[in-house]
Amino acid sequence: MGLAVVRAMSARRCKMTRTELEATHAVVTDTRALTYLSRALRLRPGDEVEFFDGQGAKRKACLQALTKDQITGTWQESLNIQHRQIECAPIPILARLKSHAEDDAISALAALGFPKIRIFQAERDATNKPWNEKQTQRWRRIAEDSCRQSGGYWCTEIQELSSLNEAIKDLEQIVYGDSEGLNQTPKKAEGVGIVIGPEGGLSEGEKSTLKQAQALSIRLGKQTLRARHAAALLPTIVLHNWWSQT
């Protein structure tokens, strides 16, 4: 593990709203944030914390008082706006997987700073569970926690779509993982989506959707990867190649 990663993961950081960041004093009342700061980090009066809103704004505070219902502090600096490090990135389009296996991919991709991730319900969805708000909140929480732990200031936006067709209809170029695909990656451009299907593979209807969209099949090697591994690896390799082009 690199030194920069160790420093980011050990930093005292917490997410709050832009309105809270712009207030005269640092005040935390959110239950989840209170639990994290007081129990997970075990902070005390006099400790410093960096607060950020997930949209580029940040501000450091020195804590003054910690109670069960509220944490207060004084700001140590004015509001600071950080530019997004990745302005142009492909959009990972991930099928929902069994046993929340997509969670690890969301965590990794959010830590790398992907602006958006789309989750779609594949025709061969093996979870046998309906879409619900609790699931959506879990994905967003994973993305936020990953942003905090990695030292980022922009949280990844998680978008839920009811089908593959809905997930790709506004994109200009589509690629998808295939062990028999081409050994190449798309060139850097806006509106590029990377589709990773479910454990059982894409249905014939979904393959037809990709064909109609003139999607490009690409491969990482001759072996077939598990969906949970491809979901993180394929978008990351494409992004790495884009960085190499600049």
- The whole-number pLDDT of residue 8 equals 42
| pLDDT tens per residue across all 246 residues of the chain | 443 443 444 579 999 999 999 999 999 999 999 999 999 999 999 999 999 999 999 999 999 999 999 999 999 999 999 999 888 999 999 999 988 899 999 999 999 999 999 999 999 998 878 888 899 999 999 999 999 999 999 999 999 999 999 999 999 999 998 877 888 888 899 999 999 999 888 999 999 999 999 999 988 777 778 889 999 999 999 999 898 775
Ranges of each domain in the chain: 11-81, 91-245
- The whole-number pLDDT of residue 214 equals 95
CA distance 165 to 131: 17
Q: Per DSSP, what are the bridge partners of residue 188?
A: none
The answer to whether 11 touches 49, Cβ cutoff 8 Å, is: no
Length of the chain: 246
Superfamily of domain 11-81: Hypothetical PUA domain-like; domain 1 (2.40.240.20)
Q: Which residues contact 129 (CB under 8 A, 6 or more apart)?
A: 135
Looking at the domain that runs over 91-245, which CATH code has it been given?
3.40.1280.10
Q: Which residues contact 191 (CB under 8 A, 6 or more apart)?
A: 170, 171, 172, 173
